């Protein structure tokens, strides 16, 4: 990671300078307190995850909770391991870039070196207010699995699929969506897809077979394929590191009336039995919706990774058939994933790197949301190149002597370059004036 490595070196050089000038540093350090200087940084960048009930293993909601971790926090922020962000800053600008500024890092270092003092508690700003259990706020609708799944203590569990009827009597446009697992210790990831009426028989509520999750092919050979605006697809996903669906004002994902949600849930065993009833919370758009956000992907399914290969390359592409704008990108691989790059190739042959993730982390998978949507004219091609490390040097590699192919389980491999995009021609404010959300009354 070119820029991050450079920043780490800067941090190391600064630390050497501090050793050479201890008196000046000590004077500055003793003036830094948790209450006045560090708490605002923790509140802005950390407590969304570091609070009770969330994914982080410890809470940072006050000085008493933060103080035991002071030296560890210093190490993690100087190395830029925390907050986790893996995009090379040379390419793309992202609205959810959570990296600390060098000034913020220096403040934390000075606080720790000065004794990690609390200061006057009255200087501590109040913590952000969170809705318990939800990062998006109180949902308009919460749709849980209709059955509770019993998780065995041991063994390999194939992906499970659950049908959840929405019972919506009108089309709904979703601006925010979030998945909450019922048993985080056993739920590895969840993907919620939408099945529209007309895509084949809709499955009944409850656990369904893998085959039942897929729309049936049109039986009438003369029936035309539906346009992308009418097709069903991914609503929201969850895995460690993946944020809720948060779309721009005037953009939303569509759930047609009568649709059924299909929950794909990956359970892992840990020696203890469990029970899960995962839910998805939805908040509808409060303003008229102009653009429907579409999720698609460039996928490399023909993976054949040789034993011991430290740099196996996989490629895939996605072609835009209409003038479009790209909203976000989400790279996905498994434990042998090494790096991931998206390049947009324009119809005239010129190209632009949109995202470069030089160190992919399977345990913390991020969606990268552009500050400004990226124009992709019709005929543009989004090319995705990734590398996989199947060598003994990969500490996460379960078996470097094994040839690895595409598969669902984490010891198999995947390469999916997800993208969210909109169509330039679309303006639902004209064609569908009912697009404004009708739920909630927030």
Same domain, 72 and 140: no
User: Quick check: is 354 in a domain?
Assistant: yes
Q: What angle do CA 410, 415, 417 make, to 5 degrees?
A: 130
Does residue 281 share a domain with residue 140? yes
Residue with tokens 């956000």: 293
Please tell me whether residues 139 and 277 are part of one structural domain. yes
Same domain, 402 and 334: yes
Q: Look at residue 125 in the predicted model and tell me its pLDDT.
A: 94
Task: Provide the greatest CA pair distance for the chain.
Answer: 82
Q: Is the domain of 54 the same as that of 154?
A: no
Closest CA to 253 of 178, 145, 163, 162: 178
Same domain, 144 and 283: yes
Contact between 233 and 261 (Cβ < 8 Å): no
Same-domain status, 43 and 16: yes
Other Cβ atoms closer than 10 A to 96: 14
Q: Which residues of the chain have pLDDT under 70?
A: 1-30, 214-232, 431-442
Distances (CA, A) of 217 to 157, 214, 223, 226: 28, 9, 10, 11
103's tokens = 């000034």
Taking the C-alpha atoms of residue 157 and residue 336, their distance in angstroms, rounded to an integer, is 21
Task: Go through the chain and tell me how many residues it has.
Answer: 442
Tell me whether residue 221 is in a domain: no
Tokens of 50: 């570091």
Q: List the domain range (segments joined by +) for residue 106.
A: 2-123
43 and 81 in a single domain? The answer is: yes
- Rounded Cα distance between 37 and 48, Å, is 19
DSSP codes of every residue in 45-90: HTTTTSSTTSSSSS--SSHHHHGGGHHHHHHHHHTT-SS---S-TT
Give the pLDDT confidence score for residue 170 in this predicted structure. 95
Domain count, the chain: 3
How confident is the model at residue 437, as a pLDDT?
45
440 assigned to some structural domain = no
pLDDT at 222 (0 to 100): 34
Q: Residue 236: beta bridge partners?
A: 192
User: 108, 127, 124, 126: which is closest to 116 by C-alpha?
Assistant: 108
Instruction: Decide which of 288, 304, 337 is a domain's last residue.
Output: 288
Q: Is residue 434 part of a domain?
A: no
Residue 431: its pLDDT value, please?
A: 63
Which structure tokens are listed for 220? 């009438």
* Together in a domain, 55 and 37: yes
- What is the three-class DSSP state of 4? helix
Region of residue 176 (phi > 0: left; psi between -120 and 50: alpha; otherwise: beta): beta
Question: Measured between alpha carbons, how far is 39 from 61 in angstroms, rounded to an integer?
Answer: 9
* 354 and 343 belong to one structural domain: yes
Q: Does 389 fall in a domain?
A: yes
**What separation in angstroms does the CA of 387 have from each of 10, 94, 254, 275?**
29, 23, 34, 36
What pLDDT sits at residue 219?
A: 30
Task: Please tell me whether residues 370 and 382 are part of one structural domain.
Answer: yes
179 assigned to some structural domain: yes
The pTM score is 0.82
Write the CATH number for 352: 2.60.120.230
User: Rg (Cα) of the chain, in Å, rounded?
Assistant: 24
Beta strand 251-255 with 172-180 is antiparallel
State the Cα–Cα distance between residues 355 and 349, nearest whole angstrom: 18
> Which of 123, 157, 184 marks a domain boundary?
123
pLDDT of the residue at 409 = 87
Any domain includes 358: yes
Q: Is residue 437 part of a domain?
A: no
What is the spatial distance between Cα 161 and Cα 179, in angstroms, rounded to a whole number?
15
Q: Are 83 and 26 found together in one domain? A: yes
């Amino acid at each position: 990671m070119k820029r991050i490595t450079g920043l780490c070196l800067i941090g190391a050089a600064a630390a050497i300078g501090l050793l050479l000038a201890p008196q000046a540093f000590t004077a500055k350090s003793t003036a830094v307190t948790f209450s006045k200087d560090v708490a605002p940084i923790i509140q802005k960048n950390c407590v969304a995850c570091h609070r009770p009930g969330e994914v982080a293993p410890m809470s940072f909601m006050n000085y008493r909770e933060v103080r035991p971790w002071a030296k560890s926090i210093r190490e993690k922020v100087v190395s830029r391991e925390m907050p986790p962000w893996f995009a090379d800053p040379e390419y793309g600008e992202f609205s959810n870039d959570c990296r600390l500024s060098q000034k913020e890092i220096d403040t934390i270092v000075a606080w720790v070196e000065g004794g990690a003092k609390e200061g006057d508690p009255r200087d501590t700003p109040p913590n952000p207010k969170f809705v318990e259990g939800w990062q998006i706020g109180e949902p308009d609708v919460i749709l849980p699995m209709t059955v509770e799944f019993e998780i065995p203590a041991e063994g390999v569990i194939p992906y499970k699929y659950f049908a959840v009827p929405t019972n919506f009597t009108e089309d709904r446009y979703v601006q925010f969506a979030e998945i909450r697992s019922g048993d985080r210790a056993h739920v590895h990831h969840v993907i919620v897809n939408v099945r529209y009426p007309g895509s084949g028989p809709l499955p009944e509520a409850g656990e369904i077979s893998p085959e039942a999750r897929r729309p049936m092919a049109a039986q009438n050979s003369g029936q035309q394929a539906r346009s992308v605006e009418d097709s069903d697809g991914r609503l929201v996903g969850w895995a460690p590191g993946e944020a809720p669906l948060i779309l721009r004002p005037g953009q939303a994902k569509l759930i047609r009336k009568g649709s059924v949600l299909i929950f794909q849930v990956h359970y892992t065993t840990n020696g203890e039995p469990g029970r899960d009833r995962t839910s998805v919370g939805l908040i509808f758009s409060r303003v008229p919706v102009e653009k429907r956000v579409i999720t698609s992907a460039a996928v490399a399914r023909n993976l054949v990774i040789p034993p011991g290969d430290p740099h196996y390359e996989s490629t895939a592409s996605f072609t835009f058939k209409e003038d479009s704008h790209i909203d976000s990108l989400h790279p996905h691989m498994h434990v042998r994933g090494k790096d991931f790059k998206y390049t947009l190739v324009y119809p005239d042959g010129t190209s632009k790197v949109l995202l470069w993730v030089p160190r992919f982390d399977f345990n913390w998978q991020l969606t990268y949301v552009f500050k400004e949507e990226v124009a992709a004219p019709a005929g543009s091609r989004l090319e995705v190149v990734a590398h996989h490390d199947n060598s003994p040097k990969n500490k996460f590699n379960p078996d470097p002597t094994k040839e690895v192919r595409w598969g669902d389980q984490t010891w198999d491999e995947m390469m999916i370059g997800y993208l969210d995009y909109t169509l330039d021609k679309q303006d639902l404010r004209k064609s569908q004036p009912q697009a404004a959300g009708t739920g909630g009354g927030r």
